[in-house]
Amino acid sequence: MGSHRNGGRGGDQSGTSNGDAGGAPVDKGVDFANYFCTYAFLYHQKEMLSDRVRMDAYYNAVFKNKHHFHGQAVLDVGAGSGILAIWSAQAGARKVYAVEATSMAEHARAVVKANNLQDVVEVIEGSMEDVVLPEKVDVIISEWMGYFLLRESMFDSVICARDRWLKPTGVMYPSHATMWVAPIRTGLGDQKNNDYDSSMDDWERFTDETKNYYGVDMSVLTKPFSQEQKKYYLQTSLWNNLHPHQVIGTAASIKEIDCLTASVSDILEVNSNFSSTVTLQNTRLCGYGGWFDVQFRGRKEDPAQEEVELTTAPSVDDSTHWGQQVFLLNPPARITEGDKLNGSFSMKRSKENHRLMEVEFSCEIRQQSGELVPRLVALCSSCSPSFSITRLPLRLLVPKMHRSSSTARASEEFLVNFSPASLSLASTPLLKTAAASEDLPVYSNGNSDHATKKEIGLLHNPPGRENVIHLIPVVLFLCGFILWISSHPPKM
Ligand SMILES: C[S@@+](CC[C@H](N)C(=O)[O-])C[C@H]1O[C@@H](n2cnc3c(N)ncnc32)[C@H](O)[C@@H]1O
């Protein structure tokens, strides 16, 4: 006991390089500041603990498969508040190692003690990559899934733990994972286009004012500002809780992962050609929704007694805090039942931050007659895909949230590039007003970071300039009134 931290790897993971992350060097200090610190907040853990779909799935997986836990050694990778470690102990584990990188470990220790499980659950504060355990384990349990499964790249740490600490006969909880995409209709693209237009109108006012009031012409920056705003509003995927009616075609699986055998190189990139058949008559293809599910099946030689699945697919009653990622297409295209959508998807880690993803989509629409639909313009046609997404610590930046919340798991976007080369050309102008009537419940998109940015933007306006301008007529009127009064003194 107590000797588990910072041992084991001869320092190979404690420096600034982490080959497993995809070749790019990882600064652990920066990683901690950007990523781990989020999890040191109880409100963040609470939001995960409040996701009933997630909780029920893990709870059932453990308690309906006690045979995997009874009398066994279990490792909880990224224990957070300790919930999975505690369930493992309650299901009869002999020993549970609960490894947590952040100071949340202290809270986990308190919860373990309060539930009288301190003799079974040992909470270890440290990075999984650095921790040394006194024995190999029979089960690894972990909730490592980020938005659209792979964001956060936390599965790397689970793989590392598995390769070092799982017995050859061991079981992974969860055991399998799948990523899905499906064509969708949504009003989000229209909304984001409006946001972009307003930000450019605002920029124009700003450059006029800067020139008129301060004598400096900033208009040379209009293009880079426009690019920046396009990337922000239009080339970034969005968190959304899609209604199942917004899914307008068959879902396609783009990646399957066997948690027992996958290596980091298997998940560095996801590349898939997929096709989907439109299932709705006369509708708009506004983009794609992406989600994942994980299964608890045990291992082939030691299967689950009862298989459990956790899905984050669009759902009315069982939505999760992961929601779905929406990848917008601009402008939307008219499609109808029976049309075939042939797409290609590519996702890789951002060079700047291995926990963030860059996504490229392309798609071709083939009508039932076999004819190709004239070309669509891609919402993200000119973007160079690089973008940051983190489960950030501040509420403002959209942390991992409970499903009923209006915000999401983090500032969640993936940069998305609908490849212009493979997209069909625009035939449909963007329908700015049609969306609302056409799209069924469009749930909150969770972009409170956008709102925040705007709010911050307001603070940066020249102090009170607009208000002063609005006051000018009033002041003029009052001056006129005073002059008139003084030239027409009241007769006493
Ligand atoms: C999504 S949370 C899950 C928390 C908890 N297991 C639950 O299900 O509520 C992931 C946790 O893993 C921790 N974590 C991520 N990578 C880790 C690593 N390499 N070593 C230790 N902890 C890690 C994070 O700090 C975070 O608390």
Whether residue 166 contacts residue 140, with contact meaning beta carbons closer than 8 Å, is answered with yes
Specify the higher pLDDT residue, 457 or 13.
Answer: 13
Alpha-carbon span 199 to 182, nearest angstrom: 30
pLDDT (0 to 100) of residue 37: 80
- Tell me the C-alpha distance between 379 and 192, whole Å: 10
Q: Where are the beta strands (DSSP E) in 278-353?
A: 283-299, 302-311, 324-335, 340-349
Using 50, 70 and 90 to split pLDDT, how confident is the model at 454?
very low
Distance 77 CA to ligand 1 centre (A): 6
Q: How far is the CA of 199 from the centre of ligand 1 (A)?
A: 37
Q: What are the tens digits of pLDDT across the range 310-355?
A: 999 999 999 999 999 999 988 899 999 999 999 999 999 988 888 8
- How many other CB atoms are there within 10 angstroms of residue 245's CB atom? 14
Determine which residue's CA is closest to atom 10 belonging to ligand 1: 78
Q: For the residues of 418-487, what is the DSSP string, one character each? A: E-TTTSPPP-S---TTHHHHHS--------HHHHHHHHHHHHTSSTTHHHHHHHHHHHHHHHHHHHHHHH
Does 379 have pLDDT greater than 50?
Answer: no
Domains contained in the chain, CATH given:
4-143 (3.40.50.150), 179-185+234-460 (2.70.160.11)
The rounded distance, in Å, linking the Cα atoms of 181 and 216 is: 48
Cα 365 to Cα 374: distance, rounded to the nearest angstrom:
8
**Looking at ligand 1, which residue's alpha carbon is closest to its atom 12?**
78
pLDDT in the model for residue 396 = 21
Distance CA 343, CA 276 (A): 8
pLDDT of residue 26: 72
Rounded average pLDDT over 114-138: 98
Residues with CB under 6 A from ligand 1: 36, 39, 48-49, 78-81, 83-84, 99-102, 104, 127-129, 143, 154, 157
What's the whole-number average pLDDT of the chain? 78
Q: ipTM value, please give it.
A: 0.99
Is residue 40 scored above 70 in pLDDT?
yes
- H-helix or E-strand spanning residue 232: helix 222-233
**Ligand 1 center to residue 385 CA distance, Å?**
28
Residue whose token pair is 């792979």: 150
Q: Assess whether pLDDT exceeds 90 at residue 391.
A: no
Distance of alpha carbon 219 from its chain centroid, rounded? Answer: 34
CA atoms within 13 A on the CB side of 303: 5
Task: Report how many helices (DSSP H) and strands (DSSP E) the chain contains, helices first.
Answer: 12, 15
Q: Please check the confidence at residue 127 and state whether its pLDDT lies above 50.
A: yes
Tell me the catalytic residues: 143, 152
Of 26, 111, 157, the one to substitute when testing ligand 1's pocket (max ligand atoms within 8 A of C-beta) is 157
Q: Which of 5, 36, 86, 400 to mutate to test the pocket of ligand 1 (most atoms within 8 A of CB)?
A: 36
Q: Cβ distance 392 to 429 under 8 Å?
A: no
Size of the chain in residues: 492
Q: Is the pTM of this model over 0.90?
A: no
CA of 100 to the centre of ligand 1 (A): 6
Q: Which of 23-32, 167-176, 229-238, 327-336 has the lowest mean pLDDT?
A: 23-32
The CA 410 to ligand 1 mean position distance, Å, reads 15
For residue 166, list its beta bridge partners.
Answer: 137
What distance in Å separates the CA atoms of residue 290 and residue 147, rounded to the nearest whole number?
9
How many alpha carbons fall within 13 Å on the CB side of residue 141?
29
Measured from the CA of 45, which atom of ligand 1 is nearest?
9
Whether residue 71 has pLDDT greater than 80: yes
pLDDT band per the 50, 70, 90 thresholds, residue 483? low
Beta strands in 101-249 (DSSP E): 121-125, 137-141, 166-173, 176-184, 238-240
* Residue 409 confidence (pLDDT): 35
- Mutational pocket test of ligand 1: of 124, 128, 292, 409, the residue with most ligand atoms within 8 Å of the beta carbon: 128
Q: How far apart are the first and last CA of the chain?
A: 98
Q: Tell me what pLDDT residue 377 has.
A: 41
Residue of higher predicted confidence among 373 and 232 = 232
Rounded distance between C-alpha atoms, residue 138 and residue 145, angstroms:
21
Q: How far does residue 237's CA lie from ligand 1's centre (Å)?
A: 24
Query: In this structure, which residue's CA is closest to atom 27 in ligand 1?
Result: 80
CA angle 148, 78, 130 (to 5 degrees): 120
C-alpha 75/C-alpha 132 separation (Å) is 12
Q: CB burial class (10 A; 0-12, 13-18, 19+) of residue 33?
A: exposed
**DSSP letter, residue 372:** B
